[in-house]
């Protein structure tokens, strides 16, 4: 699938720098970043589902704290 997106100038600079550092194309770097993000997001959803089953509903801030993701 082909996808076209607009990046903020700073994000584009970071992507260009990453591509140069790794010797990969910007498309490959972007695809890998999206894949990684989606995988992490799925893991987070699974963890939240498990927490809900364990002790009922909890708010996102509490879940992030229990998972060690609090800011």
What tens digit of pLDDT does each residue of 27-60 get? 999 999 999 999 999 999 998 888 777 766 778 8
**For the residues 1-5, what does the mean pLDDT come to?**
92
Separation of alpha carbons 15 and 31, rounded Å: 11
| Per-residue pLDDT band at 71 (split at 50, 70, 90) | low
Mean pLDDT of the chain: 90
| Per-residue pLDDT band at 19 (split at 50, 70, 90) | very high
Handedness of CA 12, 6, 42, 53 (dihedral sign): positive
Helix boundaries (H) for the chain:
9-22, 26-55, 60-66
Q: What is the pLDDT of residue 35?
A: 97
CA end-to-end distance (rounded Å), the chain: 35
- The closest alpha carbon to 59, from 48, 69, 68, 71, belongs to 48
Q: What is the pLDDT of residue 55?
A: 67
Radius of gyration, alpha carbons of the chain: 17
């Amino acid at each position: 699938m082909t996808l076209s997106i607009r990046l903020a100038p700073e994000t584009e600079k970071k992507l260009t720098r990453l591509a140069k550092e790794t010797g990969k194309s910007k498309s490959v770097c972007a695809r890998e970043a999206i894949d990684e993000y989606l995988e992490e997001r799925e893991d987070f959803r699974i963890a939240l589902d498990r927490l809900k089953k364990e002790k009922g509903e909890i708010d996102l801030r509490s879940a992030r704290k229990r998972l060690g993701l609090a800011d």
